[in-house]
Amino acid sequence: MAKKARAIWEWKIVRRALWDALLKLNPKKMMGNPVMFVVEIGSVITTALLFKGGADFKFNLQITLWLWFTVLFANFAEAMAEGRGKAQADTLRKARSETTANRLLDGGTRVEKVPSSKLRTGDIVAVSATEFIPSDGEIIEGVASISDNSDGYAVFEIAGPGARGTLMKGVAIDLHRDAFGMADVAVTAIAHIGTILWMVDEQPRYRVAVFRSYAGSFWHWLSTSAAEFGIEV
């Protein structure tokens, strides 16, 4: 059965994004995006000038409306990306909970069937032909041909000393090791692109899942961001 594609302008996501666009006007949240924060400050200043009246009232009104529109539209676009990312994450989380894993016990002599949500770091699972891979991991034995049906996602892996700094130039959350560690997964926007971000190891190594239609844009941003650290992507 073919999977029904998620509509770009799904009303539930749009309605939430409209409300979040207003909530994001909070200066504490806007400071996470320095460019839009400066635009918001300019909007407040021009709004204050309107109350003084004068011959330039119409001109100031136009500037004020455009500035507020710019801030709100940027917030709305970011909120839409986050909303679609969260919706997709919920779908993936549901699919994951329905996948059964063959966990090896007692050195591989016994197999226990468990939901993939019960898997923990260090568990070893066996995957046979036609079975789904229950979770993220590494192949330690055997050879296989894997078909990726991850519903239109492209996954980027960013690792090394400059990985955290590169991502922090565009991500809206704190990636310091005390705030975002191995067990953490975030649905957030990076450079206004909806993503699912998680940490693989303490190298640090991160993986970022984005919709394939945005993969080119994300690759361009990643290349530009990494260049500051002397890294060629």
Going by the DSSP 8-state scheme, the letter that residue 117 receives in this structure is G
What pLDDT does 93 receive? 61
In 3D, which of 32, 23, 26, 60 has the Cα closest to residue 45?
60
Q: What is the mean pLDDT of residues 103-112?
A: 86
Q: Which domains does the chain have, with CATH numbers?
A: 11-80 (no CATH), 100-126 (no CATH), 153-227 (3.30.1360.120)
In 3D, which of 195, 191, 192 has the Cα closest to residue 224?
191
The secondary structure element, H or E, covering residue 78 is: helix 57-97
What backbone torsions phi and psi does residue 29 show, to the nearest 5 degrees? Answer: -80, -35
> How far out from the chain centre does Cα 157 lie?
13
What pLDDT does 67 receive? 92
What pLDDT does 41 receive? 92
Helix (H, G, I), strand (E, B) or coil at 125: strand
pTM: 0.44
Q: What is the mean pLDDT of residues 23-35?
A: 84
Do strands 205-211 and 100-105 pair parallel, antiparallel, or not at all (unpaired)?
A: unpaired
In Å, the largest CA–CA distance within the chain is: 86
In 3D, which of 67, 72, 66 has the Cα closest to residue 24?
72
In 3D, which of 142, 102, 103, 141 has the Cα closest to residue 122?
103
pLDDT value at 66 more than 80 = yes
In 3D, which of 99, 105, 90 has the Cα closest to residue 118?
99
pLDDT value at 146 more than 70 = no
In angstroms, the CA 87 to CA 2 distance is 19
- Residue whose structure tokens are 């949500």: 117
- Side by side, the strands of the sheet bearing 100-105 are 110-115, 100-105, 125-126
Q: What is the mean pLDDT of residues 41-60?
A: 84
Q: Which two tokens stand for residue 3?
A: 């999977």
In angstroms, the CA 181 to CA 202 distance is 8
Q: How confident is the model at residue 1 (pLDDT cuts 50, 70, 90)?
A: very low
- Asked if 175 and 168 touch (Cβ cutoff 8 Å), the reply is yes
